């Protein structure tokens, strides 16, 4: 190599996690903007409604845990709870749809290991993914400290209702204070999974979620812009009733279908 040439640089590893669904040209931005106006609280990355209840319950349980009020503490807490939710659901049904983190959870369940470790299963926790929808639906808000809190109108009632589902389980008892367990037996997780199935929402909890999505009293939560979302759902329901089937995109733009 000539002495006046710079040496070839070593490979630089940014440690960035590769993800799917990159939108380098920003072509999804218009669609997302329209979606945020007409369907606030409903996004393509938040398809499992019960995760809204799980998130509310995590916030409430963390507040009562006595753990340090820091972002790291609540994120670690949420990661362990989410792990228990996913493992418990898979122990109940190995093909349970709509879970966040099944790719890493399946090998653990199939390994035969007992107890199973509770650890972070995904880079982006459902706790963070569902934060936007949770706030848009008036279930939670962000404090000046950056930590989440529940609204008294919707978030706290939802967390209390979810608590009824898990009350009396051995996993719930393990959260009664002190550090979270690093591993939990399969029997305890299976019992917990039966109560937190993401494909079966109890009637009381379902009613609270539906009222958050299509509230009978819109605007009751300060800052929640809900009228556009309600109007969109009214049009969709009218279309479904008129057509006697599930509306398609073209139906929404076809005046004769209304």
Count helices and strands (H / E) in the chain: 12, 4
Task: Report which of 125, 132, 127 is spatially closest to residue 40, judged by C-alpha positions.
Answer: 132
Q: Which pair of tokens denotes residue 124?
A: 């982006």
Could you give phi then psi for residue 140, rounded to 5 degrees?
-145, 170
Give the closest residue to 129 by CA, choosing from 96, 89, 98, 157: 98
Could you list the pLDDT tens digit for every one of the 258 residues in the chain? 555 556 655 665 556 665 566 667 777 788 778 877 787 777 766 789 999 999 999 999 999 988 899 999 999 999 999 999 999 999 999 999 999 999 999 999 999 999 999 989 999 999 999 998 999 899 999 999 999 999 999 999 999 999 999 999 999 998 886 678 899 999 999 999 999 999 999 999 999 999 998 888 887 776 667 888 888 888 888 999 999 999 888 887 775 555
pLDDT given at position 258 = 55
165 preceded by cis ω (within 30°)?
Answer: no
Instruction: Provide the whole-model pTM.
Output: 0.83
The Cα–Cα gap between 89 and 106 comes to: 11
Find tokens 């539906």 and name the residue.
210
């Amino acid at each position: 190599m000539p002495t006046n040439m710079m040496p070839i640089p070593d490979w630089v590893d940014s440690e960035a996690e590769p993800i799917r669904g990159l939108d380098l040209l920003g072509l999804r931005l218009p669609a997302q903007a329209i979606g945020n106006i007409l369907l606030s609280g409903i996004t393509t990355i938040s398809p499992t409604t019960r995760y809204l209840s799980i998130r509310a319950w995590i916030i409430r349980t963390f507040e009562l845990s006595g753990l340090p009020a820091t972002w790291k503490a609540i994120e670690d807490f949420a990661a362990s709870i989410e792990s228990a939710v996913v493992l418990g659901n898979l122990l109940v049904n190995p093909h349970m749809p709509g879970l966040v983190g099944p790719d890493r959870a399946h090998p653990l369940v199939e390994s035969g290991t007992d107890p199973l470790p509770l650890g972070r299963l995904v880079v982006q926790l459902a706790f963070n993914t569902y934060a936007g929808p949770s706030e848009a639906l008036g279930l939670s808000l962000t404090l000046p400290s950056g930590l989440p809190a529940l609204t008294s109108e919707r978030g706290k009632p939802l967390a209390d209702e979810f608590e009824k589902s898990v009350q009396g389980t051995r996993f719930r008892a393990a959260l009664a204070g002190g550090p979270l367990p690093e591993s939990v037996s399969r029997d305890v997780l299976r019992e917990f999974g039966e109560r937190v199935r993401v494909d079966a929402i109890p009637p009381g909890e379902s009613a609270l979620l539906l009222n958050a999505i299509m509230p009978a009293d819109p605007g009751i939560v300060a800052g929640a812009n809900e009228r556009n979302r309600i109007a969109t759902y009214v049009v969709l329901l009218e279309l479904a009733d008129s057509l006697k089937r599930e509306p398609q995109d073209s139906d929404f733009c076809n005046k004769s279908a209304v």
